[in-house]
Structure 1
Amino acid sequence: MIIGGANYLEKNKTVVDDLNVFPVPDGDTGTNMALTMQSAARQVKKSNANNIEDIAKAASKGSLMGARGNSGVILSQLFRGLAQGLTGIEKANTKDIARAFKMASDTAYKAVMKPIEGTILTVARECAEKAEELAKEENDIKIFLEEVIKHGDETLKKTPEMLDALKQAGVVDAGGKGLLYILIGALKAVTFDDDEFFDELDEYLKADEETKEYTEEADIKFGYCTEFIINSKNGDIEKLKDELTKFGDSMLVIGDEEHIKVHIHTNNPGEVLEKGLKIGELTNIKIDNMRYQHKSKVVDEKHVQQNQEDEMKKYSIITVAMGEGIKNVFKDLRVDYVISGGQTMNPSTEDILKAVENVKGENIIILPNNSNIILAAKQAKELSNRNIEVVPTKTIPQGVTALLSFDEDLDLDENIENMEEAIKEVKTGEVTFAVRDTTINGKEIKKDDVIGISEGEIKSIGNDIREVSMDLLRNIIDEDENDLITIFYGEDISKEKAEELGELLEEEMEECDIEVVYGGQPLYYYIFSVE
């Protein structure tokens, strides 16, 4: 059932990813839940257990260590409660499963500081309550699970009425959908009523363990990150976009009168390059094998302290970031380890624990720099016997600001208080592109629109990166309160373009100091720090 659930979610994870409320290119609920489930399934396979209690414990351990993102952490808590509910049980009947479902739901609710209805928590609770009701009369596991899933699906359909953000986006809750896929896969594993599913499951079980050791590799549908510039005065950008869409995802095609920049994840880089050659001369060609990169090293544990010696020291700081420029900023601020991650790639609890094991501080401070990593960091804190504090930074600017307020001579409590106060004083702006059509807060957004985001809200929409950037900054800057703007420009923006934006800001916002810094982050053209 565990392996069947993992397999079925893996097959349908993109459906879950596409339910992301924001149309940004980092919808990853399905991916995070699938990676968490794969970790649970691998642990079950390793355990060779033949009773329900031990299998549930193995799934709990695997999901706990492999948990990624908030959805993955909540899923791991569901498995934790499930294992507790099945303690002492070798074979389970419907009453045992109902009790375990209830304990799973209760455990997950307790793990979340402020539970919100209309999420995976609601679907789990409703499934548990339905299971308790059914178990009083129903002994047939197949009928029991079918009815639980049916009720869960009815609950899922109601989630847009519980959360306005879901209603506006016209989607159901992604985590709840992922949970139902797991339950459906578990049901298929019990009933043996789908020959095709079991052929696929057989292949899933036969998969070589070494190739699945780093699960991001299994997650990469299109393996080659392909980038190039077309020198052409007659290029039709919209036509090129249409032609390239069928070759992959994470596509970006932008340009001016003389150049077109192309970025795409594809399995056919040669064919993509041929399309470009039909328009003009190609320069700056770069093709990276992402599967190889991820397999060789998922967590980029960088020794950014040059003299990392064996003896303990007072503090070690761990942070999460993507983009070489941003990592170098953290290096300059004396961070001990940078875990590669952020949008599109949330590190697991185990990844964070590995970083903890490799630093020497008596006190360890973790800066997640992403709201979807905070729960995994806190879970790592609970699992470790080291003295760890998690400063709940949600953005890169918050992480940088927190570090600037850190003082090695102060005690831990004072530092944490100062860092948490400091992150309240910085505003973050991000500029990226929309991956689908949607409407949010009455704003109509089309696929490929440039969008400006700040504090969880889409503030600006348009077709021009610079115009959207300026509009976003006008929305969030108060010249009476803010005096420093830092521009982190991403891998798809040239230094010249970023400096042009900086000069434009200096002209319009004379009271503010402007800094332009290479961030190198993927998918996000700019990240702005406003202080």
Structure 2
Amino acid sequence: MEALDAGELRRWAAACVESVDAHRAAINRINVFPVADGDTGTNLLHTLRAALEALLRAPSGQRADAGAALGVLAKGAVTGARGNSGVITSQLLRGMAEAASGAAAVDAGLLAEALRQGARRAAAAVSEPAPGTMLTVLAAAADEAASCLPGATLHEVALAAATAAATALDKTPDQLAVLAEAGVVDAGGRGVVVLLDALVAVVAGTPVTTAARVDATPGTAPGTAPSATPMVASREGGSELYAYEVMYLLEDASPAAAERLRDELDELGDSVSVAGDGDALWAVHVHCNDIGAAIEAGIEAGRPRRVRVARFADALPDGPARFVRERAVVAPVRGDGLADLLLAEGVAVLRVDDSLPPTPYELLQIITGTGAAHVTVLPVHRDLMAVADEAAIRAVAAGQDVVVVPCASPVQALAALAVHDPRRRAGDDVVAMAEAAAATRRGEVVVAREDAITWVGPCAAGDVVGFADGEVVLIEAGPASVSTLTRAATGVVERMLAAGGELVTALLGRDAPDAIAAALEEHLRVSRPEAELAVHRGGQADVVVVLGLE
């Protein structure tokens, strides 16, 4: 055969369905990225069936030539795409359709270009492509097909692509450690080989191979089928932190809106793909915990329809059985020293970048990741209260009991943690922690970044400013020398102690000199011998020292 016309492409689509159907169980069994017993084969089969059905149902005028037939296959695949593998397959067909647009038949040169454009489209649809996957196998096949030209026949190009795909597939365990540990190749890559083998058979005019090769499998029985429950799915890829797969078709969305949607979904979860059919229809796929947010993001970008949500079969079940522990404490934290301090107390910590505030979804991952039925969140910083509240609302909506204890300062979080007792009833424990945090007075010493007017007078950039309970109480003229910083720290403590107190806690910032601790100790020994002092290295970048008084 010298070229594939519309009729031969229809036979190829039918051969793909037949072959994938025969290999489905074997492909499912080797899906171990990152957990075993996925449904890559089932997803591929569902997607290809949708593509073939679209071609068979299309009016004859819409499938008169090869380019038009590939276009109909691509649109059908996008509409019926299931899972990451299905989305990638739809984009392979879309790229092939773009390369063959207007062509009556696909010859050797056009096939090589179609495979190359298909591989590009597939890679572009995935938010974070990983080596050792079906994208790697596709790229190898496309590169080898192109290298045959000029001079190769259609059969030689197809055979070169299939052979290169099989070789790349055998190398996938070297690229993904989880495959090597399980003794299998990538399931999606195996699907690519099946599709290209079917193409070779159609070009050669031989029967399609439907005998599934026996693969090393991670302890699963042959013929293992996916879950029969429509609301439960096996995990095809991505992190085990996310319990749900959300897919929908998105209409009336521009390419720019689709790109923004991809960025928003990246913040919600992983395994993100936003793949179009070239005509304002997009297939959207994400693994996440916040189902509502994933759908809301689609509403902002366009018009979602055919929304499909499934809980992963390997995810924790709903209800009390989904939790593996009773209680946990979570805190978003700035400063490595403070983070280590809380970790030592058993707190689940979200390390927060000094310049980039966290999203509620990042904190939500930590909350759900504890596997605790009841979670107490200590925001630690006043500017993280809103993030903590939003994350808690979403966790509660998903069935987890989450309470945010108001903490405007790290010292208030430490005070709350000091009275935390998991042996108490959860409600009583939260009340005790909230009371301890509220009873802790807070102070700070910072270096002013700009000129300002305060309650105690004007300050200039570089001056040292002391706060007590959020109000400016003193200003020391800059520059911020060691003596100036220690004078400000002792001055803030003295003002706070005027109303009484027994324990002073000092969290030294990243650039705070050790002399501050010595100065505070000497000041209390002379002026307030009844007060105790506890000093820790907090490591905060935005403050010289944080002070607490109980």
TM-score range, shorter chain: 0.3 to 0.5
| Larger CA Rg, structure 1 vs 2 | 2
TM norm structure 1 = 0.45
- Structure of higher RCO (CA pairs closer than 8 Å, 6+ residues apart): 1
TM norm structure 2 = 0.44
